[in-house]
Amino acid sequence: MRRLTALLAGCALLAGCGLDAGYKLPFDVGPGSIQPVPELEGVKITVGSKNFTENILLGYMAEVALTAAGADVEDLTNIQGSPSNRQALENGEIDLYWEYTGTSWINYQGQTDPIPEEQAQYDAVKKADEEQYGISWLEYSPVNDQYAFATTREFADEHGLKTLSDLVALLKEDPSLGTFCLESEFIARQDGLAGAEKTYGFDVPDANIKTFGLGTIYSTLAAGNTCNVGEVFTTDGRVLTLDLAVLEDDQKTFPQYNAAVTVRNEFLDTYPQVADVLEPISAKLDNETILELSVKIDGDGTDPAVVARDWLVEEGFVTNPGD
């Protein structure tokens, strides 16, 4: 029943994603190693993103870079849910957004078995999306934002938890400890809760699941009075700022989730220069960088667009005319 409820909620989101108004960057951007590209001058490019910190940050990196290249960029970041972003891309409501290899492989292409090696997973996703769905993948980033389960540091230390297998063993001894804070999308996804239950041989009763928005899960979990286990992303800065204990996925239930820009084939065929602008940025990123930048957003409260610009300035991709 919980999966049906989550899927129905996802359908409601698809009908009301708010894709009717876009915004511009709130600051000017100058060229750096990214120079104006004549073929992109004045070209309207609409950039989307999912509604969590890392993906919003990546979306703004693309916006800042493309603006420096001369494009007329429209901001449609913070679209709720992965299916909504994918649908917006396929329908032409956005021109590009950062997706994750495992998400596309399991949720859009309907595969059940993830490919354990990063390059092989990327190659398979890229081939299938180009041939079957008309979507191109730019080169993938070392950023690998995997799902994980986490607890408070105190709970992990008290019960000797280091791995998901440790957690499952604990819950078999005392099922009352198995209270979970999860988002509806994770509950419904085959690469989310369902896959973990199958791989590790356990089942979370509906009564033990508390459903929250992803951003709320971190703070609720850290508070320690609503749930003992929560869904997190391994590259989310709140793991550090809230000192959460991420449990090792020792039986490898969660796929590889390398981030890459996705764009419709025809759009990339028309403007192949987009890849020249964005792929060097993708190659420069890694999990450590994303964690540090996410802390600036979630820990310090800095606007993600500003964090994206400042990092691109620091790396020499763009310049800040205000400096």
Q: Quickly list DSSP for 6-48.
A: HHHHHHHHHH---TT--B--SS--EESSS---GGGTT-EEEEE
Residue 133: predicted pLDDT: 96
Using alpha carbons, select from 207, 234, 206, 231 the residue that is nearest to residue 221. Answer: 231
CA distance 89 to 151: 35
For the chain, give every residue range classified as CATH 3.40.190.120: 147-246
Task: Dihedral sign for Cα 212, 116, 197, 242, please.
Answer: negative
For the chain, give every residue range classified as CATH 3.40.190.10: 2-144+256-319
Tokens (6 digits) for 265: 């084939």
The single residue listed with the structure tokens 């509604």 is 51
CA distance 58 to 50: 10
Residue 282: predicted pLDDT: 98
Residue 22: predicted pLDDT: 58
Assigned superfamily of 147-246: Osmoprotection protein (prox); domain 2 (3.40.190.120)
Residue 168: predicted pLDDT: 98
DSSP state of 252: -
CA distance 54 to 60: 10
**According to CATH, what is the number of the domain 2-144+256-319?**
3.40.190.10
Bridge partners of 48, per DSSP, are: 76
Residue 29: predicted pLDDT: 96
Residues 6+ apart with CB under 8 A from 230: 149, 150, 151, 180, 181, 182, 217, 218, 220, 221, 244
Transcribe 184-243 into DSSP letters. HHHHH-TTTHHHHHHHHT----GGGEEE--HHHHHHHHHHTSS-SEEEEETT-THHHHTT
Q: List the pLDDT tens digit at each of the 323 positions of the chain.
A: 333 233 333 333 333 343 444 578 989 999 999 999 999 999 999 999 999 899 999 999 999 999 999 999 999 999 998 999 999 999 999 999 999 999 999 989 999 888 889 999 999 999 999 999 999 999 999 999 899 999 999 999 999 999 999 999 999 999 999 999 999 989 988 889 999 999 999 999 999 999 998 789 999 999 999 999 999 999 888 898 899 999 999 998 998 999 999 999 999 999 999 999 999 999 999 999 999 999 999 889 999 999 999 999 999 999 999 88
Residues 6+ apart with CB under 8 A from 294: 53, 54, 57, 235, 236, 237, 238
Residue 191: predicted pLDDT: 84
Backbone angles phi, psi at 248, to 5 degrees: -65, 135
The count of other CB atoms within 10 Å of the CB of residue 104 is 27
